[in-house]
């Protein structure tokens, strides 16, 4: 794993029937006899609340069960303000999604894919993210203490130490002080925020990145990679050895 970003994407995914492992749910009796139509995924026949709960998989944030008609409604999320329809017999249950991909993994999921997580807690903002569950068999470097400044800093890169992994550190201590990328602003082809006085690294190297006057790490080179220069010196000398790079974040 290199450093770090998660791409957030809210996508619809079909719900497959599988059991809810180690996930608790909370009944909302005060919502009784209402139904929600927001973030509605599916409606199934279900003989019991228990069967219905089992249909609410990791991508389901809440479900409604109606014992009168033995029906189960699966949703990504539910909110009382959006439960504007009324229908007798419904009771809704909220699932507690894990806070991060590690929590998804602990809940028993073993395949990479899109999962609903609750990063802020308290269901303030449920998001669907891609969680990589596979052991990384490529090269990786992990940096601690990652953050990015806001727009007023031009998205300054901040990485703390130490770093671990099998590719070594090409960002903070690259062995050439004007290639240290820690603390650099982000440059793009039309925003020259690097420290190179006679040109724009992002234009020259064909990709937005945190450049100093030079770089020994550059994970955003062009593809096909024939013009991708110095992806991760000195451990990766040839871009022909790269099939994919990923930047991911996880809580410390
Ligand atoms: C739920 O209702 C609120 C308040 O009416 C509205 O702002 C929000 O967009 C609704 N959510 C969805 C997903 O429709
Ligand atoms: C941010 O980038 C813009 C455009 O390159 C530049 O004019 C401005 O001075 C930069 N601000 C900082 C704080 O580096
Ligand atoms: C690589 O750069 C050269 C010189 O700018 C250019 O002619 C060539 O088309 C580029 N290759 C690709 C795949 O973009
Ligand atoms: C890089 O790729 C070349 C062939 O494209 C191969 O000969 C070489 O062993 C690879 N190096 C590494 C470190 O995998």
Tens of pLDDT, residues 172-192: 988 888 999 999 999 999 999
pLDDT below 50 — which residues of the chain? 1-22
What tokens appear for 131 in the block? 């969680």
Give the pLDDT of residue 125: 79
- Are 184 and 196 a contacting pair, CB within 8 Å? no
- Answering whether pTM is above 0.85, one says no
Give the pLDDT of residue 3: 38
Sign of CA dihedral 125, 128, 129, 133: positive
200 CA → ligand 1 middle, Å: 45
Ligand 3 site: residues with CB under 6 angstroms? 224, 226-227
Tens of pLDDT, residues 99-140: 888 888 887 778 888 888 888 888 777 788 888 776 555 677
- Whether 183 lines ligand 2, by a CB cut-off of 6 Å, is no
Give the pLDDT of residue 103: 83
Give the pLDDT of residue 252: 65
Q: Which DSSP helix (H) or strand (E) runs through 203?
A: helix 201-204
Give the pLDDT of residue 109: 78
124 CA → ligand 3 middle, Å: 47
152 CA → ligand 4 middle, Å: 42
């Amino acid at each position: 794993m290199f450093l770090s970003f998660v791409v957030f994407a809210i996508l619809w995914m079909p719900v497959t029937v599988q059991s809810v492992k180690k996930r608790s749910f909370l009944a909302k009796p005060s919502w009784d006899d209402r139904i929600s139509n927001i973030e509605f995924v599916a409606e199934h026949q279900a003989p019991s609340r228990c069967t219905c709960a089992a249909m609410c998989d990791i991508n389901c944030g809440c479900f409604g069960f109606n014992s009168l008609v033995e029906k189960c409604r699966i949703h990504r999320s539910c909110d009382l303000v959006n439960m504007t329809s009324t229908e007798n017999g419904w009771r809704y249950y909220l699932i507690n999604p894990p806070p991060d991909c590690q929590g998804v993994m602990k809940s028993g999921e073993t395949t990479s894919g899109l999962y609903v997580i609750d990063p802020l807690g308290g269901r303030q903002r449920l998001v669907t993210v891609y969680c990589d569950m596979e052991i990384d068999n490529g090269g990786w470097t992990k940096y601690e203490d990652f953050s990015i400044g806001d727009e007023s800093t031009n998205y300054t890169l901040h990485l703390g130490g130490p770093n671990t992994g099998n590719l070594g550190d090409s960002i903070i201590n690259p062995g050439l002080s004007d290639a240290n990328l820690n603390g650099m602003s982000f440059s793009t082809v039309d925003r020259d925020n690097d420290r190179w006085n006679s040109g724009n690294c992002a234009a020259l190297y064909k990709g937005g990145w945190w450049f100093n006057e030079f770089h020994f790490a550059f994970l955003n080179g062009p593809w096909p990679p024939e013009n991708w220069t110095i992806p991760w010196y000195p451990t990766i000398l040839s871009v022909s050895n790269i099939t994919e790079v990923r930047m991911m974040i996880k809580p410390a």
